Amino acid sequence: MNAPTATLHLLPEVNQREVPAALIEALKARFGDQCSTAQAVREQHGRDESSFEVPPPAAVVFAESTTDVADAVRLASQYDTPVIPFGAGSSLEGHLLAVQGGISLDVSRMNQVLSINADDLTVTVQPGITRKQLNEEIKATGLFFPIDPGADASIGGMTATRASGTNAVRYGTMRENVLALEVVTASGDVIRTGTRAKKSSAGYDLTRLMVGSEGTLGVITEITVRLYPLPEAVSAAICSFPSIEAAVRTTIQTIQLGVPIARVELIDHNTVRMVNAYAKLGLREEPLLLMEFHGSPTSVKEQAETVQEIASEFGGNAFEWASTPEERTRLWTARHNAYFAAVQSRPGCKAISTDTCVPISRLADCLLDSVAETDASGIPYFLVGHVGDGNFHFGYLINPEDPKERETAEALNQKLVMRALKLEGTCTGEHGVGLHKMGFLVDETGAGAVDMMRTIKRALDPKNILNPGKIFAL
Amino acid sequence: MNAPTATLHLLPEVNQREVPAALIEALKARFGDQCSTAQAVREQHGRDESSFEVPPPAAVVFAESTTDVADAVRLASQYDTPVIPFGAGSSLEGHLLAVQGGISLDVSRMNQVLSINADDLTVTVQPGITRKQLNEEIKATGLFFPIDPGADASIGGMTATRASGTNAVRYGTMRENVLALEVVTASGDVIRTGTRAKKSSAGYDLTRLMVGSEGTLGVITEITVRLYPLPEAVSAAICSFPSIEAAVRTTIQTIQLGVPIARVELIDHNTVRMVNAYAKLGLREEPLLLMEFHGSPTSVKEQAETVQEIASEFGGNAFEWASTPEERTRLWTARHNAYFAAVQSRPGCKAISTDTCVPISRLADCLLDSVAETDASGIPYFLVGHVGDGNFHFGYLINPEDPKERETAEALNQKLVMRALKLEGTCTGEHGVGLHKMGFLVDETGAGAVDMMRTIKRALDPKNILNPGKIFAL
């Protein structure tokens, strides 16, 4: 960790580049109905789940093929104009906002499964397919794609932000699960990275460089990801704890013992209360862990017994079990509705979400101090976490009309991030840097590493047209 | 895959850059005894396990700290002179050869364990520590570092080549197991990449960019890797098969069934014969699989039973089991001695090693045709493989004085690589590109992707001083 910056990390200045009318004409000539300048369409593509507001893009191109993407990028390059790839629009960090103007390149129509290789546990898809659609389409194979960031995000967007979510504790993140890519470069050329082989030492790992590059180095047009056999047995449980600390210590011990748990999600008592009000669930209003175990029936039983023993040491009891898909869906309702329930609990509010992730042994230190700090601030919040990975999210529910509240929330976030960095963690476990964490990125990795990123960006995108103004100022 | 190049892939032309006497003087002034220009030292650093011969570096600097590395790189940069990082010298692909002249930067004295975090299953080490030394030093923790490329390579070198080996089928490669790095850049600056958090979306994945960059983008000075608890139970077995095909089909089915086997190594009947002669092992001279199972006693038993059933379907029998560490070591002798046994079987020969890796469903197609082709060529060879990953190595045992033999071996390798690429595999599963596979890299990934690598290299190392002339011509 480096010396923290003294200032709060707020939205950097918006610096709109003018979009030439000739580009819009050229796009309309090339794309016809696939290019829209309608206000409503532009506005829908000019925001995401972040709390920032900037002017919308000048046009939206709906790409239907890699050739479409390549042609759109080539035209944008010709006119030095930013291109912002758009999938499902579920970014939390302002990735989709046209902070330097430009056009939105919507790939949601590129949503096909291109090839399934069940024998190798891989599938190749277009970027606009969402994770739920993918799982629906491969159902018959007995395989599944485990990464679940909550939102029904596009696989392209998940690749671009190195997403993870529940299940990552067992199955890894997009970093571990993307094998190969097709990418349109800043000059509109099409390249391929990686192969379907499980491992390779063939040159620079361009696949991993693109994963998490947030649309700033290329537009992803094909993705090959790993699949997993549906587990023979699945069992889910919900368990309440007398305190957040008890739930967290149970998690730490579970991970340190090497239990191959598939999901372990924390929901604090505030959030349980919100979810109860929203979805009429009648859960005990105490901190709880939602857990899922995958494996052979014997293994699932062993894992569950081990975790029950650990939980009971920390006062966790009243395990409620679910073995059928329907029962499991009911249990997971609490987790999947947390965000919406929280936002509804304070009408008109905006949620500012934190995303720190620390080594598992540091989780209690990081989380408990931040809970105390946030409680003391008086800002309403929800708290959920993929705690098995050391990753959790506070959602500060602020009144967007009250600059003081935003300032308090940002100050809390700042303290939390500094604490996480001191504990050898990261400012963002899974949401990405986007607009909101540029300063934190420097705090985390140092100016030298960010300079290296900037050098790579300048070399691969000399006109700075690919989602400019994200990750670092440029 | 792209259209194959028509020519054989032989050593590119050597283009020696002159090393200024002033640089040698400056290095001697800064490093004293840590800088050597003795012929024997230079020659020892001017070769590796590849079959190429080029003039040795002009000097060798023995770095003892990150500051030493940074100072050496800074001086080399000042004099536009190549710097070639050197760990254990076990590269098979000419990574250590001074094809453009320059100095060797030996980091073998930087061999300390810097910090063990047993609670998080991580350890931070200097690059010169070897994998065996690392495992020795962490023994008391009950943890181990699984990656085993055969040679007692340095962790720095393994990082730089994205190494793997036996055990990767279960524990992954250096790609999956490196969490964070300290790197000296081409200008002599020190940067850090990654953190000890299990996952992160904080900007470009510089860690994964450095892993596998073969010393061309930076000199690695610290590495944080994952550790694993020593398995509760370990069981190893050797099993003979009536044919290579039977051994390969057993492997494919084992992987496709999802058995979490820790090691599954193929040794063909030629190689068994060589190992018998070399180490007096008395093994049946038939193709065999060496297997290892890790887990709870129940799980190990289950895994072993499943694999025995599969093997018996394919005529594999005569399982010989080992459960104590001593018995296991005896069984593994066959695998670990294969290379030396093979080279000794033809006095004066050099081994040219192949390294293709294909998706598991394509393994039989790739391997069996190549065996037939190699048998027909009359060149003596050995054949071993990390077949659970779809990766295997032919070692063509050529008479280095006979250009025809080298040509035949290179032609066999060329055919094998083209076959692997057609089957959606890679030309190098774990050895790296080095000097020998530059042409294949273009065949595999296309000129566009290699251009992107070259653009990154030019941007991060504008003077082309970091291990120049490896991976791609520049």
pLDDT digits (tens, 9 = 90+) for B315-373: 998 788 987 888 888 788 888 889 999 999 999 999 999 999 999 999 999 999 999 99
pLDDT tens string A297-324 = 988 999 999 999 999 999 998 788 988 8
What is the pLDDT at residue B1? 40
pLDDT tens string B78-108 = 999 999 999 999 999 999 999 999 999 999 9
How many CB atoms are closer than 10 A to CB B415? 16
- Say whether A360 and B471 touch across the interface (CB within 8 A): no
| Of the partner residues A258, A427, A452, the one whose CB lies closest to the CB of residue B460 | A452
Instruction: Find out whether B213 and A202 touch, Cβ atoms under 8 Å.
Output: no
Q: HEC profile for chain B?
A: CCCCCCCCCCCCCCCCCCCCHHHHHHHHHHHHHHEECCHHHHHHCCCCCCCCCCCCCCEEEECCCHHHHHHHHHHHHHCCCCEEEECCCCCCCCCCCCECECEEEECCCCCCEEEEEHHHCEEEECCCCEHHHHHHHCHHHCEECCCECCCCCEHHHHHHCCCCCECHHHHCCHHHHEEEEEEECCCCCEEEECCCCCCCCCCCCHHHHHCCCCCCCCEEEEEEEECEECCCEEEEEEEECCCHHHHHHHHHHHHHCCCCCCEEEEECHHHHHHHHHHHCCCCCCCCEEEEEEEECHHHHHHHHHHHHHHHHHCCCEEEEEECCHHHHHHHHHHHHCHHHHHHHHCCCCEEEECCCECCHHHHHHHHHHHHHHHHHHCCCEEEEEEHHHCEEEEEEEECCCCHHHHHHHHHHHHHHHHHHHHCCCECCCCCCCCCCCHHHHHHHHHHHHHHHHHHHHHHHCCCCCECCCCCCCC
- Our CA-based measurement puts residue B283 at a distance from the nearest CA of chain A, in whole angstroms, of 31
What is the pLDDT at residue B11? 60
- Say whether A456 and B459 touch across the interface (CB within 8 A): yes
pLDDT tens string A184-231 = 999 999 999 999 999 999 999 999 999 999 999 999 999 999 999 999
- Mean pLDDT of all residues in chain A? 94
| Of the partner residues A185, A202, A361, the one whose CB lies closest to the CB of residue B433 | A202
* A295 contacts in chain B (CB < 8 Å): none
Per CATH, which fold does B113-229 belong to? 3.30.465
- Say whether B452 and A191 touch across the interface (CB within 8 A): yes
Q: Which residue of B has its CA nearest to A295?
A: B258
- Say whether A425 and B122 touch across the interface (CB within 8 A): no
Q: Which residue of B has its CA nearest to A190?
A: B448
- Our CA-based measurement puts residue B21 at a distance from the nearest CA of chain A, in whole angstroms, of 31
- Say whether B197 and A427 touch across the interface (CB within 8 A): no
- Our CA-based measurement puts residue B23 at a distance from the nearest CA of chain A, in whole angstroms, of 26
Give yes or no for residue A7 having a pLDDT over 50: no
Chain B interface disruption, residue of A91, A196, A198, most B CBs within 10 A = A198
* B357 contacts in chain A (CB < 8 Å): 197-200
Q: Which residue of A has its CA nearest to B472?
A: A203
| End-to-end Cα distance, chain B | 23
Question: Tell me, what DSSP letter sits at residue A33?
Answer: G
- Our CA-based measurement puts residue B104 at a distance from the nearest CA of chain A, in whole angstroms, of 21
| Of the partner residues A444, A445, A458, the one whose CB lies closest to the CB of residue B459 | A458
Confidence of residue B14 (pLDDT cuts 50, 70, 90): low
- Inter-axis angle of helices B438-460 and B403-422, to 10 degrees? 80
Q: Which residue of A has its CA nearest to B434?
A: A203
* A176 contacts in chain B (CB < 8 Å): 176
β-strand B391-398 against B350-353: which pairing, if any? antiparallel
How many CB atoms are closer than 10 A to CB B183? 26
* B193 contacts in chain A (CB < 8 Å): 445, 449
- Say whether B359 and A430 touch across the interface (CB within 8 A): no
Give yes or no for residue B379 having a pLDDT over 50: yes
* B168 contacts in chain A (CB < 8 Å): 199
What ipTM was predicted for this assembly? 0.96
What is the pLDDT at residue B317? 81
* A213 contacts in chain B (CB < 8 Å): 204
User: A233-422 domain in CATH 1.10.3720.10?
Assistant: no
- A-B interface: how many C-beta pairs under 8 angstroms? 252
Chain B interface disruption, residue of A185, A187, A199, most B CBs within 10 A = A199
- Taking the domains of chain A in order of start, what are their residue ranges? 113-229, 233-422
- Say whether B191 and A448 touch across the interface (CB within 8 A): yes
